[in-house]
Chains A and B, each alone.
Chain A
Amino acid sequence: MIAADRLVKTFRDRKRGEIRAVDGVSFQCQPGQIYGLLGANGAGKTTTLRLLATILQPTSGTAQVAGFDVTTQPGEVRARIGFLSTATALYGRLTARETIEYFGRLNGMDEELLQQRATALLELLELSQAAHGRCDKLSTGMKQKVSIARTLIHDPPVMIFDEPTLGLDVMSARAITRFIRECRDRQKTVLFSSHVMSEVEKLCDRIGILHQGKLLAEGPPAELKARAGVADLEDAFVRIVEGLQ
């Protein structure tokens, strides 16, 4: 489970002064559920996910991830999450298998179990043929599969996806969304961010609309549309954001 509690993150910028990238964000995401953070570019989605993945430290507020506090137990949190985004690239000079094993070892996995799970994941994701090829020689789709394998190697209960389909072709994007659904089916807690309305509507059980660092509204897609009095999620998003302005 993920429970964000009044998360705030500010950055200092020489020209613009203090920037509140995340401004008092609170929400909950349960196991077996996909929670989508929806927002335009610069809304604070990536920063929120980085706070939950403990890559960044919150300025104030806190969050519980899989029962651990992001500020006081960051190591425990990271051991229980799988973090995937278009920004999380692979080590080009390592092979697919070496990459998967590397992350397994960093997660403290037993060597025997690691080898078993790496083999199983490579077979599951149809990567066995490419297992010993360097990552920089793989196609974009294959690279995404290796990224999925490395996030799953330690079988984390919480998955965090930051715009995972950004820049991917249709087939690769479909593979990712299928994988996200499978995570939900296996009762994992799934947090997902995107600015693509259709993708969010298809995938998410609950949606949080983020704008200028603030969570403006949240709930199931149907409820958000009903609240805005429109039939389309994009229209609902625009109404909610314009309502603030």
Chain B
Amino acid sequence: MNWRRIRTVFRKELVDALRDRRTIISTIIVPIILFPLLTIGFGAVAAKAVKKMSQETPSVMILGAEYAPDLAAQLATNRAFTVTKPRANYVAEINDKQLRAAVEIPPGFEAALLAGNAPPPEIKICHYASEMRSEFAVRALQKALLDYRDQIVAKRLRDKGMNSDVLRPFETLQQNVASAKKVGGNLLGGLVPYMLILLCLVGAMNPAMDITAGEKERGTIETILASPITRLELVLGKFFMVLTMSLCTTVISLLSYGLTFSLPFFALRELTKSGPVSLDLSLGSVLSLFVLVVPLAIMFSGLLLATSVFAKSYKEAQSYVSPLMALVIIPAVAVMMPGVDLNFSLAMIPILNVSLVCKEVLSGTYHWGLISIVFLSSCGYAAIALSLAVHFFKKEAVLFRS
């Protein structure tokens, strides 16, 4: 094996890729803007929208106010919502989002309360499930109704010469004992590895397709095959370039992630200061994430080369690579599901294992035994993927498929 020739191919492919607009966008620009856009940009817009909605006074309707004049009077003076006149088509109005919720008071409600009849009368709140403004109205109505119920309970206890404290023999208090880093890791621990893994693949995708299927399409493959370079040297030169682009995307993503949460002028940093949440990445965490992602990048580079070399054109390569993307996304997303934690079996599943370890590292947990298994199994998968790429590059039927 001639390393000078491998280096020559690597350099040429790198120069070639860096002059390709598609590669520059997918490898450099997307990872730079993705984290700030998703976290600060999207997060800020979403927070602003929720805040705006919560400040709005929802309009609600009370049906059967004549059965509970006292309650109706209290609800009418509540400033958390505006009570509108009762109308028969309230269901349609809720569906049309003109009305946020409606309270249905059953006939004889107040009389039943006074009599203390069992079973207790029921008040129905009609709303639009999954519609945020309607949910806010329901929340406000429930609070008003519970306050009214507490008033009745307190009155009944008073009538029997008892204090309402008898209903509260003890209080509960919640206290978070997890470190701010762990809370932050748990919050973003699923999202960050997912984004890293996805970008690691996306960074390698375009260069891999361009230097295999793209080269076949442009007719340059025959030019290079007639030169003294061996197929192994050729595939290694190309592989190192794809790997470089993939790692380059990963490093840029990590830097972008670090800056997003570290620099003081970024808004999210200010937001996290208010609560016990730490989203900072230490140098150790960054290095650990990088080391874990390296075998994954090798595996992606090998797999993408092996898949794309089959295609006769760039377009055909895209149709082969798309299912690969779905295969990567599924285990990367699985880590966000509740109860999926790193264990020996999961440490052997490619992509999911790295995703789980990244999540643990982000929350400051280092299970070295499992981390070693993840790293070694990922290296094993990477070696298989690379051998596959070399194998296909040596096959005439693949290179000259027509």
Contact = CB atoms under 8 A, between A and B. Distances in A.
Interface of A: 12, 50, 53-57, 75, 78-79, 81, 83, 85, 87-94, 98, 102-103, 105-108, 134, 150
Contacts of A88: 219-220, 222-223, 226
B226 A81 contact: yes
B227 interface: yes
16 contacts: A55-B225, A75-B228, A78-B226, A78-B228, A81-B226, A87-B219, A91-B16, A91-B218, A93-B16, A93-B19, A98-B15, A102-B12, A105-B5, A105-B8, A106-B9, A106-B229
Nearest to B399: A55
B162 to A, nearest CB: 87
A79 B228 CA distance: 5
Contact of B227 (A56, A85, A93, A107): A107
A56 B400 contact: yes
A89 B220 contact: yes
Contacts of B223: 83, 88-90, 150
A56 B396 contact: yes
Given A79-B228, A89-B218, 6 more contacts: A56-B400, A75-B230, A91-B218, A98-B12, A102-B12, A134-B19
Contacts of B224: 106
Contacts, number: 69
Interface in B205-260: 218-220, 222-230
Given A78-B227, A108-B4, A85 B222 contact: yes
A83 B222 CA distance: 9
A55 B8 CA distance: 20
Given A75-B230, A94-B12, A102-B12, A89 B219 contact: yes
A79 B2 CA distance: 14
A98 B16 CA distance: 10
Contacts of A92: 218
B4 A87 contact: no
B150 interface: no
Interface residues of B, number: 25
A106 B237 CA distance: 12
A111 to B, nearest CB: 11
Contacts of B20: 93
Nearest to B17: A93
B175 to A, nearest CB: 61
Given A56-B400, A105-B4, A94 B228 contact: no
Nearest to A74: B230
A108 B6 CA distance: 11
- Which among A78, A94, A102, A134 has the highest number of chain B CB atoms within 10 Å? A102
Nearest to A76: B228
A55 B5 CA distance: 18
A168 to B, nearest CB: 15
A75 B229 CA distance: 7
A57 B395 CA distance: 10
A87 B228 contact: no
B227 A91 contact: no
A56 B20 CA distance: 30
Nearest to A11: B397
A102 B396 contact: no
Contacts of B220: 88-91
A20 B16 CA distance: 38
Contacts of B16: 91, 93-94
- Which among B2, B227, B397 has the highest number of chain A CB atoms within 10 Å? B227
A227 to B, nearest CB: 34
Nearest to B227: A106
A103 B222 contact: no
Contact of A53 (B2, B12, B226, B400): B226
Contacts of B2: 108
Contacts of B400: 56
A102 B8 contact: yes
A10 to B, nearest CB: 11
Contacts of B228: 75, 78-79, 106-108
A89 B229 CA distance: 17
A83 B223 CA distance: 8
A77 to B, nearest CB: 9
B222 A106 contact: no
Interface string B1-42: 010110011001001100110000000000000000000000
A88 B8 CA distance: 19
Given A93-B20, A108-B5, A103 B218 contact: no
Contacts of B9: 106
Contacts of A102: 8, 12
Given A90-B220, A98-B15, A103 B227 contact: yes
B12 to A, nearest CB: 5
A90 B224 CA distance: 10
Contacts of A108: 2, 4-5, 228
- Which among B9, B12, B15, B219 has the highest number of chain A CB atoms within 10 Å? B12
A122 B37 CA distance: 49
A83 B229 CA distance: 14
Contacts of B230: 75
Give the 3 A-B residue pairs with the shortest CB-CB distance, closest first: A83-B226, A89-B219, A88-B223
A56 B230 CA distance: 13
Interface string B390-402: 0000001100100
A89 B216 CA distance: 10
Nearest to A86: B219
A171 B350 CA distance: 58
A112 to B, nearest CB: 15
